[in-house]
Chains A and B, each alone.
Chain A
Amino acid sequence: GENVGLHLPTLSVQEGDNSIINCAYSNSASDYFIWYKQESGKGPQFIIDIRSNMDKRQGQRVTVLLNKTVKHLSLQIAATQPGDSAVYFCAENTPSGYSTLTFGKGTMLLVSP
């Protein structure tokens, strides 16, 4: 896949467990954050986003937490399923007015049945 050789951090969980994927972002001026999921052979797929005026946002089975003090994002996936196996990227956007994202290195999530 695209991320072979990158030595991605890997999180291995059992089906039904809750998963937490962490990300440290770099720019304290960033005001918009997105989590993407990338399956092998596919482009990144939007999961959930959060703006800097929030510290928590919930979606379907997913929750994103933002801690601006320590520049940390986390993605929580409830009741993880084998179909959740993928590489997860956090991305940040600075208030430049442009649709430009800076991506983290990614975390591989492996879900065992």
Chain B
Amino acid sequence: KAGVTQTPRYLIKTRGQQVTLSCSPISGHRSVSWYQQTPGQGLQFLFEYFSETQRNKGNFPGRFSGRQFSNSRSEMNVSTLELGDSALYLCASSSRGGTGELFFGEGSRLTVL
């Protein structure tokens, strides 16, 4: 069974640009969550999707958005990039609708110059 796949693995953007990151969950998993990991703040929850609906959102500005498609694949978008958005963005999928083990991808490393 393939794991969680995130693309691209690495990308470099400049301030003011926007970026879209993609995540394919484990087959059969309907819940997809996104986390931001930085050296200063650690792992922070961005949002969670289940059956194409955003069910929960972390404390991030509106520049961070996401969506989930009918095949459970998810994308997140960050607009008007700032230097502080440089981070590892991790996607995780879960088979259950509620509390359960999250399976993480390898992440997309975003550098904003």
Q: A interface vs B, CB < 8 Å?
A: 2-6, 31-32, 34, 36, 41-46, 49, 89, 91, 93, 95-106
Contact = CB atoms under 8 A, between A and B. Distances in A.
Q: Is the interface of B mostly helix, strand, loop or mixed?
A: strand
A89 B43 contact: yes
A99 B48 contact: yes
A43 B100 contact: no
Interface stretch (B13-21, B68-76, B89-97): B89-97
Interface string B80-113: 0000000010101010111111111111000000
A2 B39 contact: yes
Given A5-B39, A6-B40, A100 B90 contact: no
B99 A95 contact: yes
B56 interface: yes
Q: Is the interface of A mostly helix, strand, loop or mixed?
A: loop
Interface residues of B, number: 32
A104 to B, nearest CB: 8
B73 to A, nearest CB: 16
Contact of B42 (A31, A45, A46, A105): A105
B43 A43 contact: no
